[in-house]
């Protein structure tokens, strides 16, 4: 009697790009879900799905420290068809975004403060370019969202979610403490110049 294919999903809403492993978990090269299911059925195995994103620290730790272990590979390779999916890319490997035919579906009206006070780190995060005093807030970064006129009718009943995730490090009078904390949390360094303005490296 053929066993049903059971889907097990390990989802980190934070990401990874796993390296090819020779002793650890062997992930399928195909992104075709149909082929993955067919293989699982033919080999009478379960399916292990690792969902990741390129900017996810915990996912990278899994890829380099857990998935590479021989003991882990022995278990997963024997009982599962293993596959990875980047949650920010489609089946063809193209980045999923708010674009349709290359055009923004939603127009975002960013403030001048967004342009001036934030630094694009190129790692999926934006870094505030100032030391933020206690009990103070940053200036508004967004004034409004509006569906583009070309898509307003199509998406008039759609829900659009714009999610902001923020992290902060408590500032210390000991500069060495600040640098260690920033490096530990953000993996980069900074320099405070005049008027508590920060430059990020």
Q: Is 35 left (phi over 0), alpha (psi -120 to 50) or beta?
A: alpha
pTM to 2 decimal places = 0.46
pLDDT at 171 over 60: yes
Cα separation of the two ends of the chain: 60
Alpha carbons 173 and 162: distance in angstroms, whole number: 35
Domain at 7-86, CATH class: alpha beta
pLDDT at 125 over 50: yes
pLDDT tens per residue, range 50-97: 988 777 878 888 888 899 999 999 999 999 999 998 877 766 666 555
pLDDT tens per residue, range 37-51: 999 999 999 999 998
Q: What is the pLDDT of residue 115?
A: 85
Average pLDDT on 15-42 reads: 76
Backbone angles phi, psi at 79, to 5 degrees: -115, -10
Any idea where the domains of the chain sit in the sequence?
A: 7-86, 99-200
């Amino acid at each position: 009697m053929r066993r049903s294919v059971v889907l097990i999903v390990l989802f980190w809403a934070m990401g990874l790009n796993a390296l090819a492993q020779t002793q650890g978990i062997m992930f399928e090269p195909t992104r075709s879900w149909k082929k993955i299911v067919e293989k699982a059925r033919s080999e009478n195995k379960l399916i292990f799905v690792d969902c990741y994103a390129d900017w996810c620290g915990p996912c990278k730790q899994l890829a380099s420290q857990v998935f590479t272990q021989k003991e882990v590979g022995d278990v997963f390779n024997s009982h599962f068809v293993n596959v990875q999916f980047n949650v920010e890319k489609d089946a063809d490997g193209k980045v999923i975004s708010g674009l349709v035919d290359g055009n923004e579906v939603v127009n975002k009206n960013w403030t001048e403060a967004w342009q001036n006070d934030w630094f694009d780190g190129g790692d999926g995060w934006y870094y505030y370019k100032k030391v933020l005093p206690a009990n103070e807030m940053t200036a508004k970064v967004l004034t409004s969202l509006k569906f583009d006129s070309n898509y307003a009718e199509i998406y008039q009943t759609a829900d659009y979610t714009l999610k902001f995730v923020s992290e902060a490090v408590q500032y210390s009078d000991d500069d060495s403490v600040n640098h260690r904390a920033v490096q530990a949390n953000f993996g980069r360094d900074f320099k405070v110049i005049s008027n508590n303005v920060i430059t990020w490296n």
